[in-house]
């Protein structure tokens, strides 16, 4: 006779429980949360592209992070803001955050590749995208580290 305590599973008793199974739902939730954050990040990327093409003198834009989106479950606004700021900084943008949801995004500090190539042709100095001089010794050291057998 089955009771509420046995529930008829007496034949299928395992001696161990797979702990990874306990986190499947959390993993799905976390992946869904990241996909929501990436939707907002894609909107920001789109706005940056539009602003850079329409107004070439301004190398910045403003973005208001939405507190809610229609058709999307409620998300943690603070965690979303931190994620977006981190991803944009990884991409090389200068970000200034104004509470509660305003982002200032700038790419004025970046030196485009065509300008770097002209500087290299005229002066012989190699610089990176941020304007830092790249020394020949640094290049040689990085080559030695990457491929020590060519020496």
Query: For residue 111, what pLDDT is reported?
Result: 82
Whether 98 and 122 map to the same domain: the answer is no
Domain residues for the domain of 122 are: 113-150
Is residue 15 in some structural domain? no
Number of alpha carbons in the 13 Å side-chain half-sphere of residue 148: 1
Whether 52 and 77 map to the same domain: the answer is yes
Whether 28 and 84 map to the same domain: the answer is yes
CA atoms of 82 and 78, how far apart (whole Å):
6
CA atoms of 54 and 91, how far apart (whole Å):
21
Whether 78 and 94 map to the same domain: the answer is yes
Nearest CA among 73, 56, 75, 55 for reference residue 65: 75
CATH of the domain at 28: 3.30.1370
**pLDDT band at residue 130, thresholds of 50, 70 and 90?**
confident
Q: What is the pTM of this model?
A: 0.71
CA atoms of 49 and 91, how far apart (whole Å):
14
**pLDDT band at residue 141, thresholds of 50, 70 and 90?**
low
Percent of the residues in the chain that have a pLDDT greater than 90, as a whole number: 42
Whether 125 and 98 map to the same domain: the answer is no
Whether 101 and 135 map to the same domain: the answer is no
Question: Is the link from the previous residue into 100 a cis peptide, with omega within 30 of 0?
Answer: yes
Whether 28 and 73 map to the same domain: the answer is yes
Whether 99 and 124 map to the same domain: the answer is no
Tokens for 109?
A: 């500090």
Is residue 127 in some structural domain? yes
- Which residue, of 91, 106, 121, is where some domain finishes? 106
How many structural domains comprise the chain? Answer: 2
Query: Could you tell me if 95 and 85 are in contact, meaning their C-beta atoms sit under 8 angstroms apart?
Result: yes
Distances (CA, A) of 24 to 29, 73, 150: 9, 19, 48
Whether 117 and 61 map to the same domain: the answer is no
> E strand or H helix at 113, and its extent?
helix 113-123
Is residue 8 in some structural domain? no
Of residues 34 and 72, the one with the higher pLDDT is 34
Is residue 121 in some structural domain? yes
Whether 117 and 102 map to the same domain: the answer is no
E-assigned strand segments in 24-110: 60-64, 94-98, 102-106
Whether 135 and 71 map to the same domain: the answer is no
Over the stretch 73-122, which tens digit does the pLDDT of each residue have? 888 899 999 999 999 999 989 999 999 889 999 998 888 888 888 888 88
Whether 50 and 91 map to the same domain: the answer is yes
């Amino acid at each position: 006779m089955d009771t509420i305590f046995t529930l008829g599973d007496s034949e299928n008793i395992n001696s161990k429980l797979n702990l990874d199974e306990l986190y499947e739902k959390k993993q799905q939730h976390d992946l869904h949360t990241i996909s929501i954050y990436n939707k907002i990040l894609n909107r920001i990327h789109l706005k940056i592209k539009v602003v850079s093409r329409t107004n070439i003198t301004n190398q910045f834009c403003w973005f208001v992070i939405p507190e809610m989106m229609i058709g999307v479950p409620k998300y943690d606004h603070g965690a979303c803001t931190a994620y977006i700021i981190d991803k944009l900084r990884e991409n090389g943008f200068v970000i200034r955050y104004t509470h509660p949801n305003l982002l200032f995004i700038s790419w004025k500090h970046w030196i485009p590749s065509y300008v770097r190539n002209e500087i290299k042709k005229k002066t012989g100095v190699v610089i990176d995208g941020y304007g830092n001089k790249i020394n020949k010794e640094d290049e040689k050291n990085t080559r030695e580290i990457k491929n020590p057998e060519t020496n």
